[in-house]
Chains A and B, each alone.
Chain A
């Protein structure tokens, strides 16, 4: 009698995709814009990134330790949350605020809801909005950084040129100015099949079309509105967060149109100069409903046999 081998239920092979692998891909996709952010805003930006990432990972590890849960920092999702948070902050933000933001993102939004996959809203976005509300003026008005003058262009009198907007050499959050680097990251995610085109393309297109009308059919102004503020980083990296966006293609399209319209409404008619975060946050909350409406039809359940 030969020795017994393992008995399991099929399938016996796996695609090899893993949560950690996906998170790693998103982090890789964020590298170009992180580098661009440090080049544009200086070493202070690096400090913000480091503090956010380290605090996010630290808080998650601590939470797991205290609540005696399995350690989950190995899936890199806390690293990603930290990085995304940092890229959405201005380089001159006080570092203690970064720590508070990380605490809020990881503990309140993620861990207390049950950890990865259970949060209702995107941790990084929610933390950013929280910081905006809590530290008010600081998060928005403190954008101008020594070398680069001017506030975030959405509230500025004169818009930078399209080339400047594309390369990112102007004031704003660390990771939102360099459109070029964000697009490179987005293409990487598409190629790696981490995201589909639906959310980013539809989101950005919606904002473009809305702005085009708003600006009286001026394509150049519309384009500069699209490339400024947090639209690209939001559409490519935050709105595509699996946990808080719909899974099906149609669900994604609805989600993206909604986010695009809301962004414009807030930008052009609201009191805050930037609407991307609020728009995504709001659509996160609607996601369970969108998912319900856009479920796939199940094969073979609609037809009756003749």
Chain B
């Protein structure tokens, strides 16, 4: 059955796209939380007073769905602190005072790969997690029977306003990406790769096409997608690149696809080449409150405040600080917060930019359901949630919601639609758990 996936036109605000990418000088200290991914937090392997170098392991993955954590600077561990994550949970954070030398750990060397198991293990060792979004450990996605993977889809859609760090990756790290693709082809037998990019990133598209041409052993296709938010949503991307529909509560692998972000791919490549794990990120620093918005390469753990200072400081008191884009990003309370593994952007929005209209009564205009990519009916879901009507929520298939925020964005009454959807999903989850424990 053919679907037309709707979406919404969000402002692009890609102010940083054509500016040079700069590396921030080594910060004085970095704060590296042990929980920068989905799953169990890693277990600190250092204590106060230890000397570390760039790439020294400071946290060991705790179990399968977890990730290693590495020092991003050379220096001395000065504190192991409880750190309040933006999610509201606490995590241990290792605070390292940098010596400014950025010396590499000399034990680092390119991993030896002989088969698919080695490759998955290498991705796990590198501490790589989904860098475009939630930070799901990447090795888990590849740790399947290789014959199940028909398509590898590289997410270069970057549909969020402001964020351009993935574009930077595609424009500057094609060699790393190509290296990773070759290895994935060789050891996992991946034959078909599709790179999905929104059509507002001409240079990235050109560069990726060039890369695709250089890879002759297997098929790499660059697919230009319309700039319609949320093009980068996993299910949307899979549908628009392969035509396959991922059923509700299923994963891309269930329809033969693995989706990873382009920066994640580049990071896999650089690790396989050099053995340097995930220790730095290219971060888009933007928002009306930032004097000189640009893309900055920074060690993981760098305080966001240092990034702002490096970008000329803040020209006004920001109303909101956001990790990621303004549609799905997460607010954090102050500029001491560090750059995390999955931080692709930090935004300092002004009062004016972050202004939301007053919430008023629903006028049943239908804008929410007419913009929802999946055809959900957010206004009805809100009502069902308010009535705690479990059956209606199931009927309305709230679990399909990817929380993209289109519905709230367009609602003229500014109803908290996606917010209610999240609560409704949580309600169903609890209800299910109750059912199971009975």
Contact = CB atoms under 8 A, between A and B. Distances in A.
A116 B336 CA distance: 45
Contacts of B357: 14, 16, 18
B42 interface: no
A77 B245 CA distance: 41
**Considering the complex of A and B, which 3 residue pairs feature the smallest CB-CB distances, nearest first?**
A247-B366, A296-B375, A11-B405
B418 A10 contact: yes
Contacts, number: 167
Given A2-B336, A18-B412, A305-B254, A11 B361 contact: no
A305 B327 contact: no
Nearest to B248: A300
Contacts of A15: 8, 409-410
Contacts of A67: none
Which of under 10, 10 to 19, 20 to 34, or 35 or more describes the interface residues of A?
Answer: 35 or more
A301 B247 contact: yes
A238 to B, nearest CB: 15
Interface in A256-306: 295-305
Query: Which of B254, B365, B377 has its CB near the most chain A CB atoms (within 10 A)?
Result: B365
A19 B412 CA distance: 5
13 contacts: A4-B333, A5-B332, A8-B320, A9-B416, A10-B405, A12-B356, A14-B409, A22-B365, A116-B361, A117-B362, A243-B363, A299-B375, A304-B247
B409 A299 contact: no
Contacts of A11: 326-328, 405, 408-409, 418
A17 B320 contact: no
A143 B380 CA distance: 43
Interface in A238-260: 242-243, 246-248
A5 to B, nearest CB: 5
Nearest to A118: B361
A115 B364 CA distance: 12
A235 to B, nearest CB: 18
Given A15-B8, A298-B376, A301-B400, A9 B419 contact: yes
A300 B374 contact: yes
B377 A295 contact: yes
A12 B354 contact: yes
Contacts of A248: 366, 369-370
Interface of A: 1-19, 21-22, 72, 75, 77, 115-118, 242-243, 246-248, 295-305
B245 A13 contact: no
Interface in B249-305: 250, 254-255, 305
Contacts of A304: 247
A306 to B, nearest CB: 9
Interface in B371-408: 372-377, 396-397, 400, 403, 405, 408
Interface residues of B, number: 72
Given A5-B318, A305-B247, A305-B255, A13 B353 contact: yes
Contacts of B353: 13
Interface in B299-341: 305, 317-322, 326-336
Contacts of A247: 364-366, 369-370
B366 A5 contact: no
Contacts of B397: 298, 301
Given A2-B336, A304-B247, A21 B369 contact: no
A8 B331 contact: yes
B305 A2 contact: yes
Given A13-B354, A296-B377, A299-B5, A3 B334 contact: yes
Given A22-B412, A115-B361, 18 more contacts: A3-B334, A5-B332, A6-B320, A10-B326, A12-B356, A17-B367, A17-B410, A19-B413, A22-B363, A116-B363, A242-B366, A247-B365, A297-B375, A299-B3, A299-B239, A299-B373, A301-B397, A301-B400
A301 B414 contact: no
Contacts of B245: 299-300, 303
B23 interface: no
Nearest to A299: B374
A302 B247 CA distance: 8
A10 B317 CA distance: 20
Nearest to A193: B367
Contacts of B1: 297, 302-303
B156 to A, nearest CB: 22
B105 to A, nearest CB: 32
A298 B349 CA distance: 34
Given A296-B369, A298-B397, A19 B360 contact: yes
